[in-house]
Structure 1
Amino acid sequence: MSSETTHRPLVAILSGAGISTDSGIPDYRGPQGLWRRDPEAEKLVTYDIYMTDPEIRRRSWQMRRDSEALRARPNGAHEAVVRLERSGVPVRVITQNVDGLHQIAGMPARKVLELHGTARAVECTHCQARSGMAEALERVAAGEADPACRECGGILKSATVMFGENLDPEVLTEAVAVAQAADIFIAVGTSLQVQPAASLAGMAAEHGARLIIVNAEPTPYDELADEVVREPIGTALPALLDQIGKGARATG
């Protein structure tokens, strides 16, 4: 990694729900966020409740079936990240999102760390077998209100990190390493209120990164930032990343 960054800065991008709102996926904690509009919705993604309440599981599967998230397409902000990576600048994405839109936009999967898992797969809570979300939703549409694991009959859940579950320690360890190595760390569309993801911004700043926060609402890390951008993400992030790309090419 050090040879890559001799002339070209390592750019780490921590993305939250705000980067995907232009794709039609609502955020969680903003003024119109899901948790504010429907506090009961948190129960559907709380592990202990999900595992012990069959009615919650049935409602969860209906929510997934009706969700627009899996039909969403990447927007200009996702595409700008890919454009920067393809220009030769070392880029790593750490995302709190589960929508997979960074990869669909063209970001190599090995350069995307999904802190909270993915909504595009399901996993068995008993044998850990994984399969596609689309297949599970086809079973729901066919009448299975709470589809069980085909391998062992265990309870299936989205391959996302629910409330009450720990993050994957390997993914988190890699995210910490990226944050500490970054020359530029951009937190975009995230309230920086959910730990441990939020602490990555502070960690990057402590290790000398230029910290840039692009978010509509204030965050707890604004005072640490070298730059805070309140403009709409769909236009602000592409402009910022294009500027970084030009600067990297000029020095490279």
Structure 2
Amino acid sequence: MSGAGISTSAGIPDFRSPGTGLYSQLEKYNLPFPQAIFQLDYFRENPKPFFLLAKELYPQKFTPTPTHYFIRLLNEKGKLLRTFTQNIDSLERIAGIPTEKIVEAHGTFFTAHCLDCRAEYSLEYVKDIVFFGESLPERFAECVKSVNENLK
């Protein structure tokens, strides 16, 4: 399981670091509180701040880090069963890790879905992340179960 720490050297902020974390950079959006930008109820009420932030964090602006390439190397050597990530930046995909080996717990910028009917849309239409208050992707639970069964 990896998180924000593997992407900070690519220029993508983590969430909570004082002064540099994403939450400390959201004042310009006039949010009731920083986490609101990822809350499903707030998004339904006012999606503009989220989409402005998503445009800033769009993954094509960033390059994978040595850690992302190390994970790809593990795959190339036949050592990677699966990589679970909390990141939505899609740098694992950009690094060349096969999508079937990646489990994106909080969603990804590479796919999108309608919050009401779950219809999928292309990358250009909207970026797909999991909001606070929304269930994790079904594939996440399936892959965790698979890993647990293989450990027995």
TM-score w.r.t. length of structure 2 = 0.82
1:177-192 to structure 2, matched below 5 A, reads: 177-178=146-147, 181=150
Larger Rg: 1
Distance 1:66 1:84 in 2: 30
Partner residue in 1 for 2:9: 22
Partner residue in 1 for 2:144: 175
Deviations 1:111-162 (A, max 9, x none): 11111111223221223222233344xxxxxxxxxxxxxxxxxxxxx42110
Identity %: 30
CA RMSD of aligned residues (A): 2.3
Structure 1 residue 100 displacement after superposition: 1.3
Q: Are the aligned partners of 1:24 and 1:68 in contact in 2 as well (CA < 8 Å)?
A: no
Structure 1 residue 90 displacement after superposition: 3.7
Distance 1:61 1:161 in 2: 14
Instruction: Determine helix, strand or coil for the equivalent of 2:8.
Output: helix
Distance 2:79 2:91 in 1: 20
Partner residue in 2 for 1:163: 132
- Could you tell me which of 1, 16, 21 is aligned with 1:33? 21
Q: Which of the two has greater strand per residue?
A: 1
In structure 2, stretches of 5+ residues that fail to align are none
Partner residue in 2 for 1:132: 122
Closer, same or farther in 2 for the Cα pair 1:28/1:179, shift >3 Å? farther
Distance 1:70 1:130 in 2: 21
Partner residue in 2 for 1:106: 96
Deviations 1:193-252 (A, max 9, x none): xxxxxxxxxxxxxx7xxxxxxxxxxxxxxxxxxxxxxxxxxxxxxxxxxxxxxxxxxxxx
Partner residue in 1 for 2:36: 43
| Aligned partner letter, 1:16 | G
Distance 2:122 2:16 in 1: 28
Q: Are the aligned partners of 1:74 and 1:102 in contact in 2 as well (CA < 8 Å)?
A: yes
Closer, same or farther in 2 for the Cα pair 1:179/1:23, shift >3 Å? farther
Closer, same or farther in 2 for the Cα pair 1:77/1:90, shift >3 Å? closer
In structure 1, stretches of 5+ residues that fail to align are 1-13, 137-157, 183-206, 208-252
1:67-106 to structure 2, matched below 5 A, reads: 67-106=57-96
Runs of 4+ in 1 over 4 A off after TM superposition: none
Distance 2:111 2:104 in 1: 13
TM-score w.r.t. length of structure 1 = 0.52
| Aligned partner letter, 1:91 | L
Figure out how many residues of one structure are paired with residues of the other and give that number: 146
Closer, same or farther in 2 for the Cα pair 1:114/1:68, shift >3 Å? closer
Instruction: Determine helix, strand or coil for the equivalent of 1:120.
Output: coil
